[in-house]
Amino acid sequence: MPEDLAFEAVDLSRTASSSELIYDALRDAIVSGRLAEGQVLRQDSIARMFNVSRIPVREALGRLEAHGLAASARYKGMVVASMSPDEISEIFEFRAVLEPVVVERAVPRMSAADLSRAQRACDAFAAGTDAARWGELNRDFHWSLYSHSGMPYHLSVVRNAMDRVERYVRSQLKLTSGMERARTDHQAIMDACARRDAAAAAELTRQHILNAGTTLVAFIDLQKTTTGSAGVGPGRSNYVGASR
Amino acid sequence: MPEDLAFEAVDLSRTASSSELIYDALRDAIVSGRLAEGQVLRQDSIARMFNVSRIPVREALGRLEAHGLAASARYKGMVVASMSPDEISEIFEFRAVLEPVVVERAVPRMSAADLSRAQRACDAFAAGTDAARWGELNRDFHWSLYSHSGMPYHLSVVRNAMDRVERYVRSQLKLTSGMERARTDHQAIMDACARRDAAAAAELTRQHILNAGTTLVAFIDLQKTTTGSAGVGPGRSNYVGASR
DNA sequence: AGGCCCGCCGTTGGATCCAATATCCAATAT
DNA sequence: ATATTGGATATTGGATCCAACGGCGGGCCT
């Protein structure tokens, strides 16, 4: 059999089923904040949107719940997960532990091309004018550093932690000094990577994340005390663990 | 309405649906090693075992896949996930980063009663004679230290990491010196907690996990080179990420 | 008039049925 | 004889249908 045909072949057994496509779409909508927290997710309406029956929708919702992006009660339906300030704070602590480890491993493995790609991501973030894309660009930059770590499991866990707080990071960046601070932090991390100082890159990453977390939580608490609970700030005590 | 009735009330809206029960049962079977890695999971046969249709089984399998305990290919069915030595090694590295953080936080929060409970778990592990329960007792001990950390998200992540390697830890404990070493490690960690030396407890935990990991991976590699790939050692390169 | 109960309706959880795909095996051509 | 092909069977993915449950509002009793 000719192993090299004239056309590009794809492994069809790994193509996505509809439930996976639905999961991806819902995940993206939640992570990006287009679906507000607490929003109820009706199987029927989602099914109609995708022109499928409720079965693949249910499987997608199940996976969302497994990843902690939605919460359900039997026979009552599913809602987009909310996070209390305490929970958000914990996620940032968590990221501040893990991500430095990942960068530190990645730095010596980055090629010159990788570094320039990361610098481009850094520049793209710094130059970003559309506030709606800041979260995405922020994530792209961090990921451009982490992806060379050769630690797939660490990456999958970091990705999930990022997913849970991405919505809130967006609002943190919108703070007056949030974007400014992020720009300088990012460039400092980038520079440490460029001069192959893995330990410095790790420490800077840790500080960067911790700072973003405390700033964000302070902002949320402030918002809560000033506007009551009417703002976009998250509700309290709806934590749903990732497993079970 | 009387708030205190003569019987214990439970929140029925949080009781498990059949798909959750099936998920728990399958997870337990995989984690404990009763289901060998690579074992195919037929929806039909599982459905018959639980006397249900294939629908809840499929949802349970979907969750298993989301947690990385099973892997699937479209129309081909699902198999119990296998881990390569590299993947196992990475999980131990991961645990060696996270678990020290969790113990360190837990130590100052443990009451005298918590400490004595932990010591009992430690003793139970040390006294365990049934090799089949070593894994479970090992886990109980670690968990008795971690559960007071007040870090639910960290705990859920640690739990998932433990789930993935539990089967292999079992075989590591069965090594001639594995159990011996674990006993002394555990007591050292326990002592550090008892004298409220959080930093020492953290460092001892880190060493303990790293040592267990390297011992285990060395054992697997040895097994692979001596017996070909016929042993219980895991196959290579079947990694399926936790997310997506 | 006010509180309680009961039945209707929307939604979810599960069962059954159908379509799409993989696997296995026999038939066939080279 | 071997490789290829076509079909039979097993298994998964999805659609449709039914039952169980929560929520809500109207009627009823006090």
Strand order in the sheet with B40-41: B40-41, B77-80, B70-73
Q: How confident is the model at residue B96 (pLDDT cuts 50, 70, 90)?
A: very high
Q: Say which nucleotide is closest to residue A20, CA to C1' distance.
A: D13
- Top pLDDT among A25 and B16 is at A25
Residue A171 has pLDDT above 90, yes or no: no
The whole-chain average pLDDT of chain B stands at 87
- Look at residue B28 in the predicted model and tell me its pLDDT: 95
- Look at residue B149 in the predicted model and tell me its pLDDT: 96
CA–CA dist B189, B103 (Å, integer): 10
Strand order in the sheet with A77-80: A40-41, A77-80, A70-73
Mean pLDDT of B150-177: 91
Nearest to A242 among B73, B151, B157 (CB): B157
Q: DSSP 3-state assignment of A232?
A: coil
Residue A141 has pLDDT above 70, yes or no: yes
Nearest to B154 among A90, A153, A243 (CB): A90
Does the C-beta of B72 come within 7 A of strand D? yes
What does the block give as tokens for A208? 């960067």
CA–CA dist A13, A39 (Å, integer): 34
Q: Say which nucleotide is closest to residue A55, CA to C1' distance.
A: D14
The DSSP symbol for B110 reads -
Q: How confident is the model at residue B13 (pLDDT cuts 50, 70, 90)?
A: low
Task: Using alpha carbons only, give the angle B117, B121, B126 rounded to the nearest 5 degrees.
Answer: 145
CA–CA dist B167, B81 (Å, integer): 11
Residue B136 has pLDDT above 70, yes or no: yes
Question: Is B143 part of the contact surface with chain A (CB cutoff 8 Å)?
Answer: no
Does the C-beta of A34 come within 7 A of strand C? no
Distance from CA of B62 to the nearest CA of A (A): 7
The whole-chain average pLDDT of chain A stands at 87
Whole-number Cα distances in Å, A116 to A110, A122, B75: 10, 10, 42
Q: DSSP 3-state assignment of A218?
A: helix
| Distance, Å, A56 CA → C10 C1' | 21
Nearest to B97 among A59, A98, A239 (CB): A98
DSSP letter string, A106-127: HGGG--HHHHHHHHHHHHHHHH
Q: Which residues of B touch A159 (CB under 8 A)?
A: 243
Mean pLDDT of A21-38: 95
Mean pLDDT of A99-120: 96
Residue B9 has pLDDT above 70, yes or no: no
Does the C-beta of A13 come within 7 A of strand C? yes
Residue A75: Cβ within 10 Å count: 8
- Look at residue A135 in the predicted model and tell me its pLDDT: 85
Does the C-beta of A156 come within 7 A of strand C? no
Q: What pLDDT digit, counting tens, does each position of B218-229 carry?
A: 988 887 777 654
Mean pLDDT of B45-71: 95
Residue B167 has pLDDT above 60, yes or no: yes
Mean pLDDT of B109-135: 90
Question: Is A94 part of the contact surface with chain B (CB cutoff 8 Å)?
Answer: yes
Residue identified by tokens 């892997």 is B71
- Top pLDDT among B241 and A193 is at A193
Q: Which of these, A105, A192, A214, A90, lies nearest to A154 by C-alpha position? A: A105
- Look at residue B234 in the predicted model and tell me its pLDDT: 37
- Look at residue A130 in the predicted model and tell me its pLDDT: 81
**pTM given for the model:** 0.88
Mean pLDDT of B119-132: 88
Q: Which of A40-44, A87-91, A175-179 has the lowest mean pLDDT?
A: A175-179
Residue B153 has pLDDT above 70, yes or no: yes
What does the block give as tokens for B87? 């993947």
Of the CA atoms within 13 Å of residue B162, those in its CB half-sphere come to 21
Q: Which residues of A touch B55 (CB under 8 A)?
A: 55
Highest mean pLDDT among B9-18, B61-70, B132-141: B61-70
- Answer for the pair A26, A64: CB distance below 8 angstroms, yes or no: yes
Q: How confident is the model at residue B14 (pLDDT cuts 50, 70, 90)?
A: low
Mean pLDDT of A85-90: 96
- Top pLDDT among A16 and B30 is at B30
- Look at residue A160 in the predicted model and tell me its pLDDT: 97
Residue identified by tokens 């992570």 is A31
Q: How confident is the model at residue B243 (pLDDT cuts 50, 70, 90)?
A: very low
| Distance, Å, A235 CA → D15 C1' | 38
Mean pLDDT of A22-41: 95
- Answer for the pair A213, A88: CB distance below 8 angstroms, yes or no: yes
